[in-house]
Amino acid sequence: MSAKKILLTLVLILAALCFCAYGWFNATINAPVVHNQTETIISVSRGRSLEEILAQLEAAGIIKSAVLTRLYIRMTGPAPVVKAGDYRFKSPITPGEVLATLAGGGIELNKITVIEGWTRFDIADAMVAIPTLKLKNRAQALALMNDTRLISDLDPVVSNLEGYLFPDTYFVQTTTRPADLIKQMVARFRVVWKEIQVTCPNPNHFTVHNAITAASVIETEAKLAQERPIIASVIYNRIKKGMTLSMDSTIVYASKMIGKWKGNGIIYQSDLDLKSPYNTRKYKGLPPGPVGSPSRSAIEAALAPAFTDYIYYVREPSRNDGAHNFYSNPEGFELGVQKLRAWEEVQRKAGKR
């Protein structure tokens, strides 16, 4: 047999082998897999590689081979962008359908939205309401917020994580542990704090503890972002003058700490009489620590307050957006209070008609 015929025979044999291999691969990769994991939730955490995810699916019996599925992806197009989440896979299912499920995103996750100004007590209650976290009560969640190691490098005098659980929306997978969720909130705070250091370099050299404590008060006192630097100036001006802050948000927090806050927005005499260092009507200076979770704008205001001589403010009654009038003397403040009281009386009488 001539060399030419031998070469042709080898080419034909190789082509036949390739055709058979392709047929086997195509039949294998497109064969629906029957599995018993339809009620099992497959959790994909952030940062996991596609190879790790495919290996997990192979171990669960949802795909036959992670290696062949990876080869299938290379042959058919770009790899799917897999979002972190919880996934369920029907049975039977082909590898192509598995990849389509991954590309489509997971089933709806539980989530917790930490609202600006929320206290750790509010956050704890929200965590208890998420079944997969398996927290029995508020006390269990609050205990996790005592792990000051998560923030002690920035705030060595902190007694709990109040103020460092940054306001944002956090998704909760079935595999998310309560402690991991707390870590996410603190990690988010660290990211924002680092960003703020670039845009607002702390010209007054406030400690992190004092800045976040002041920011938490600003957050609860100021509804309008543009007023926050002004209210920050009121706080610092009152401290410089040796005046008490006399800010209701700190008194509310003191009441919450001992479980006495009624939650109806009314501050009672019993609240005002509390012998707590958080009661800024009785004790001078900032409270011992944050009284809630401040937003980025509140932190920026605490670090860079406006330059004013204001030491008082009163809500502006003609507006319903939380605006205030500011005063640098008691006389102006009293006139502002009278104006507010007169407006409230008009509203009260109108409500009776």
The tally of domains found in the chain comes to 2
On whether both 174 and 201 belong to a single domain, the answer is yes
Q: Both 138 and 62 in a single domain?
A: no
Determine the average pLDDT of the residues in 279-285.
95
Are the C-beta atoms of 165 and 140 separated by less than 8 Å?
A: no
> Does the residue 259 lie in any domain?
yes
The verdict on 153 and 279 lying in the same domain is yes
Burial class (CB in 10 A: 0-12, 13-18, 19+), 161: buried
Q: Which residues contact 318 (CB under 8 A, 6 or more apart)?
A: 343
Task: Give CB contacts under 8 A, 24+ apart, made by 50-55.
Answer: 50/79, 50/80, 50/82, 53/82, 53/102
Q: Is residue 127 part of a domain?
A: yes
Cα 293 off chain centre by: 10
Q: What is the pLDDT of residues 233-251, one digit of tens each?
A: 999 999 999 999 999 999 9
Compute the C-alpha angle 6/9/10, nearest 5°.
90
CB atoms within 10 A of CB 275: 8
Report if residue 8 sits inside a domain.
Answer: no
Q: Do 256 and 283 have their domain in common?
A: yes
Q: Is 343 a domain residue?
A: no
Determine the structural domain holding residue 220 and report its residue range.
Answer: 120-310
Q: Where are the alpha helices (DSSP H) in the chain?
A: 3-29, 50-59, 66-76, 95-104, 120-128, 138-144, 178-199, 208-221, 228-240, 248-257, 269-272, 296-303, 330-352
Peptide bond into 95 cis (omega under 30): no
Weakest-pLDDT range from 65-69, 183-187, 289-293: 65-69
CATH value at residue 92: 3.30.1490.480
pLDDT digits (tens, 9 = 90+) for 295-312: 999 999 999 999 999 999
pLDDT at 88: 84
Q: Read off the pLDDT of each residue in 57-65 and give the average, rounded to a whole number.
A: 87
